[in-house]
A = this chain, B = another copy of it.
Amino acid sequence: MRLFSSPSDTDAQTGDAAWLRAMLDFESSLAGALADRGLADASVAEEIGRVCGEGRDEDSASGPAAWDLEALGAGTARDGTPVPALLKQLRAKLSDDAKAVLHRGATSQDVVDTAAMLVAKRALAPLRADLDAATDAAATLAERHRADLAAGRTLLQQALPITFGLRAANWLGGLDDATTRLAAVESRLALQFAGAAGTLASLDGDGLAVADALARRLELPAATPWHTNRSRVVELAAALGEAAGAAGKVGTDVVLLAQTEVAEVAEGGEGGGSSTLPHKRNPAGAVAAVAAARRTPALVATLLAAMPAEEERAAGAWQSEPEALDDLLRLTGSAVAAIRRSLENLEAFPDRMRANLDLTDGLVMAESLAAALGRELGRAEAQRLVTEASRRAAAEARSLAEVAAEAPEIVAALGTEGILASLDPAAYLGATDELIDRALAAHHDRVNPRPPRN
């Protein structure tokens, strides 16, 4: 179902058509691998490859017309997987010689698990491209707004000054971490080929050699059979969940910053218009990212819960995986693409950030005043004086600067100029600059890994 999800380029690499394609690739490559090892004629392998390629270019939402997808679903009801029904459709198109070679040595789960890995690999390509672009966009914002003062907020209350660049650098950090993790799990995607009980028995002594040939053809690493060791599935799932969560984090911030009352950013580009309210400018990309991200933790949980599979083949757990994994790939892709759009089109309004920072009439700088005062009077006394001044300023709706300038102890300690200096947000940014530098450097190193030294 795609009506209520924001589309992305992972859409084309997921869904029934993509899985069908990957299952056919398995069967086609298996025939080739059998031929590679002398267990099938090259012409037979070629025939199987040709038939498996049917309909390849005419994919639609419901899959290529060359195959009866409804019958495959009915096969799942009957057999637990669509593979027997697919083999039946294949056999109807094959010569007797090819029928004898088709699927040789494999079990249904080999087909579906390998298809899962192929689908994941193919979906990760556009997903990672969108994620890379999103990190680049965050890096650009971090650099561009490095010095633009903004209110840092905790529990959505203004706390201390930061810069908008630091916030973007934090977004960058989360997105970069997710990218690193996705790259790591991508290298774990591997072939499944083990036969009905994981022994490759039906291929006599040729099993492992055929597995190697098959792995080469599918461009996946070989692996010891993992029918009921689902570690690579859950590691992939967790990395996807992390990426979606990182996108959701950015989306949450953009939604908050775009509020009518805050108005520090807006999503540019088309879209976001309300059907009834012409003046609204909805942060549609951010909302789409949040919506997609919200659905991912439960899917990760579904896949984790499928780990305890019974003996050599699960009776229900494994069968619950493919659609959950597919949804997870698609929704993470949706979240990441949406946040990429949001970040690439984000308009930031430094004037409004600064105006918001001034909303508390200096109260947001109270910690800074206390710190300056603490250096003269000790931390406890400073805290006491500033708390009192802050309360008075709030109660009387006056600026902290004004109230502080009336407090003899504060004036004595800092002088009027010292008070004002301590209330200047730009002078109370701590390690902001260095932290932005570090995030940008880490991003740069990730994107341009240094060559290993000799």
Contacts and interface: CB of A to CB of B under 8 A. Distances in A.
Interface in A1-27: 1-7, 14-16, 19-20
A133 interface: no
A79 B282 contact: yes
Contacts of A73: 2-3, 5-7
A66 interface: no
Interface stretch (A123-131, A318-326, A406-414): A318-326
Given A155-B255, A287-B80, A99 B277 contact: no
A199 B166 contact: yes
A279 to B, nearest CB: 4
A231 B309 contact: no
A429 B201 contact: yes
A221 interface: no
Interface in A274-292: 274-292
Interface stretch (A50-58, A139-147, A434-442, A445-453): A434-442
A316 B291 contact: yes
Contacts of A394: 279
Contact of A271 (B5, B77, B160): B77
A107 interface: yes
Contacts of A442: 224
A196 B100 CA distance: 53
Contacts of A203: 430
A260 B151 contact: yes
A431 B153 CA distance: 37
A156 B315 contact: yes
A351 interface: no
Nearest to A19: B3
A78 B272 contact: yes
B181 A235 contact: yes
Contacts of A320: 291-292, 294-295
Given A277-B367, A316-B294, A234 B242 contact: yes
Contact of A323 (B5, B15, B167): B5
B199 A84 contact: no
Given A197-B154, A235-B181, A300-B304, A366 B315 contact: no
Given A201-B430, A235-B181, A245 B195 contact: no
B306 A159 contact: no
A322 B83 CA distance: 30
Interface in A77-125: 77-84, 87, 96, 99-101, 103-104, 107-108, 112
A279 B299 CA distance: 35
B313 A159 contact: yes
Nearest to A309: B249
A20 B4 CA distance: 11
Given A201-B429, A241-B304, A366-B278, A259 B156 contact: yes
